[in-house]
Amino acid sequence: MSTSIYPVPNAVIPATTTVQGIVQLAGDLGGTASSPTVVSVADVTVGTLAVTNGGTGTTTSTGSGSLVLSASPTLTGTVSGASATWTGEDKAADFKATGLTGATAASRYVGATASGAPTTGTFAVGDFIIDQTGKVYVCTVAGTPGTWVQVGATTTSVTMGGDVTGNSATSTVAKLQGVTVSTTAPTSNQVLTYNSGTTSWTPTTPSAGALNYFNLSLATAPWSGTSPYNITSQSLTAGTWLVILNAAIGSLSGGAANVDIWVGTASASTTGMVATASGGYASTASGYPLANIGINRVFTVASTTTYYVNAQTDLPSGSLKIYTAGVVTGLGSVSRVTFLQIG
């Protein structure tokens, strides 16, 4: 006896790869058997990113809408968009820009330091940082920590002129008001002095003002006659000098007299006078300092020169004397000359 299989009316036939049947929608499929839809991929609902993948577990929107991520999402691959707006604070270990046309070399902003280039860590060529003092450093040789160059650290060289030579980075004051400054190194306590011989400013030890005192008493005998008479002399070096002279003069024989005293460059002569003074007295008893003559004058010495203190009288007879101490009580005359260098 043969056996035949007949379809059971209204029976559900499962679908296979070779037999068409009715599909029960489940898993990633939704909708109806005649119009199924994909509602998820690998059990992840479309429009919702799983918490394990960085999502919030909540669908915010589907299609072209936004996606809310969890606090610490894990993203791989490439995230791209024609135009995207970011809000809030974005944090990353570094930021690597792909660059625009013509500027596609690798470059990363890798953070900041308190001051200066990084001294630890491993960096690539093109990495750059901005320290907290406002300086920018770029890594030019990859390594740990690599070689870093400060941006804009090189000073632009500008050639100087006038009294200054060199450039702006290594300038030298070579002149003052057009007068050359000597290259001789100064020593302690020296000052810059104009030297007329070399026509330059030269380091010079300032003179303490050498005081040269001379008593003007006659060492041999009083003088007489109307010719110039040399009293004393002193050699002076180049510079500015002050001469202070006080002479108490009296007659040994009595009689009126006029007396001239001067400082000059010749002995017993009026040649080269730089300071003069005159005095006189009427006839009186001998032996008294009757005329006080004073000189107070500044003059310049160009080079080492001997200066003479000279005197002359119109007394035709008798003798005059320069007293070194007052003879008359209360007169207190002391005769001397002082040369003081003041410059």
| CATH 2.60.120 location in the chain | 211-341
**Calpha distance 292→284 (Å, rounded):** 15
CA atoms within 13 A of residue 39's CA, in its CB half-sphere: 11
pLDDT by residue, tens only, the chain of 343 residues:
455 554 555 566 766 667 666 667 776 677 676 677 766 555 545 555 555 555 555 544 444 445 555 556 666 666 665 566 666 666 666 666 667 788 778 788 888 999 999 999 999 998 999 999 989 999 999 999 999 999 876 556 677 788 888 777 778 888 888 888 888 888 877 788 888 778 888 888 766 544 444 445 434 456 776 788 888 888 888 888 888 888 777 777 766 778 888 899 999 898 999 988 887 766 655 556 667 788 899 999 999 999 998 888 887 766 777 766 555 544 445 677 788 887 7
**Cβ-contact 306, 187 below 8 angstroms:** no
Single pTM value for the model: 0.39
Question: 175 in helix, strand or coil?
Answer: strand
For residue 215, give the H/E element and its range. strand 211-215
Domain 211-341 has CATH 2.60.120: yes
| DSSP assignments along 97-164, one per residue | E---TT--S-EEE----SSSS-SSS-B-TTEEEE-TTS-EEEEEE-BSS-EEEETT-SPPP-B--TTE
Question: 36 in helix, strand or coil?
Answer: strand
Token pair for 118: 């990084």
The residues facing 276 across adjacent strands are: 262
